[in-house]
Amino acid sequence: MAALVGPKLVEEHIRRSKLLQVAWEKLTRDEEVEALLRMANINAVARLLYNDHGPMHARIVAGSALEIADILFQSGLLPTSVQQGTAAGLDEARLIILLAAYLHDIGNALHRENHEFAGSLMAMRILDRLLPEILPREPLKRLKMLEMEVAHAIYATHPAVEALTLEASIVKVADATDMAEGRARYPYKRGKSDIHAISALSIKKVELSRGEEKPLRISVYMSDRAGYFQIERVLLPKVQSSQLRGLLEIEPVVDGTRERLIIP
C-alpha cells in the first residue's frame, strides 16, 4: 500500500514508538528549534523566494524519512548505526532519522549558502540539551555518538556530500520527496515564475511504496512533463550521492499515465 508524502505521515510512525513519541514532543515544543525553523523560512522563502523550508517542511520530511526507513528495514536492510554499534537497535536508528529529518534545514536561519554544514553544527548544541532528556539513562559517550550520527545526516543532505550511512541516505532522499505543488505556491504568488517554480507547481503528489524491481518505489504524480525537472534536478542528485543508489525506482505519473520507471 502506498503512503502519501504529507504532514500527517509522521504521526503514523510516532505513535508506534514510545522513544519517538518522547523525541517528537521534545522537538516540536522546543522554543529554540521553533525559532530556527521560523527564521529558516524567513531567509529561504521571504527573502530568497525559495520553497518552504520551515516547520511544515521539517514535519513532511520527517514522515517521509520514517516511511522510507520502514520500507527498507522490512526489506532486510540493516541501518549502518546498528551494524557498527553507534545505535542500540532499530528504534534508535529511527531516532537518528527523525532528529536529522526534522532539524536538517535549521542552517537556513543563518544563510542559504552552506546551510547543511551550518545546520549540522547548530544541531549539535540543540542535541546536547535534548538527547539526555530523550535517553536519560544513557552515558555521555553513547549520546555523543548518536549526536554525531544526526549531525552527519544533516550535513549529508547537501547534494554533493556523500552520505556515509543508510540513515543519512534516507534523510537525504526524503528531503527531495517534499516536492508537491503546495510547497511552491508562496514564492509563485510573490512573482517567482522560473522553471523551478513552474515545475514544482506541476507536482500534485508523491507516494512511497515497496517497489517491484527494487525495495523502494517513489511515485511522482504530475499534471505535465514540467515535473520531470524536479526529478532530474532535485531528487536524482540526492539519490546519486546516497547509499540508496540501486535500491529504489522512480515512477513518473503524468496526467494519470504511468511512464517508464527510472532506476538510478
Is 0.85 surpassed by the pTM of this model? yes
Average pLDDT over residues 219-225: 95
Residue 87: DSSP 8-state: S
Domain 3-258 CATH assignment equals 1.10.8: no
List the grid coordinates of 214. 527494487
> Which residue ranges make up each domain of the chain?
3-258
Average pLDDT over residues 24-37: 98
Q: Is the pLDDT of residue 115 over 50?
A: yes
Mean of all residue pLDDT scores within the chain: 94
According to the model, what pLDDT value does residue 49 have? 85
According to the model, what pLDDT value does residue 101 have? 98
Long-range contact list for 140-145, CB < 8 A, 24+ apart?
145/86
Three-state SS annotation for 209-257: EECCCCCEEEEEEECCHHHHHHHHHHHHHHHHCCCCCCCEEEEEEECCE
Q: How confident is the model at residue 187 (pLDDT cuts 50, 70, 90)?
A: low
For the chain, helix, strand, coil in percent to 5 are 60, 10, 30
According to the model, what pLDDT value does residue 188 have? 47
DSSP string of 24-65, one letter each residue? HHHHHH-HHHHHHHHHHHIIIIIIT-----SHHHHHHHHHHH
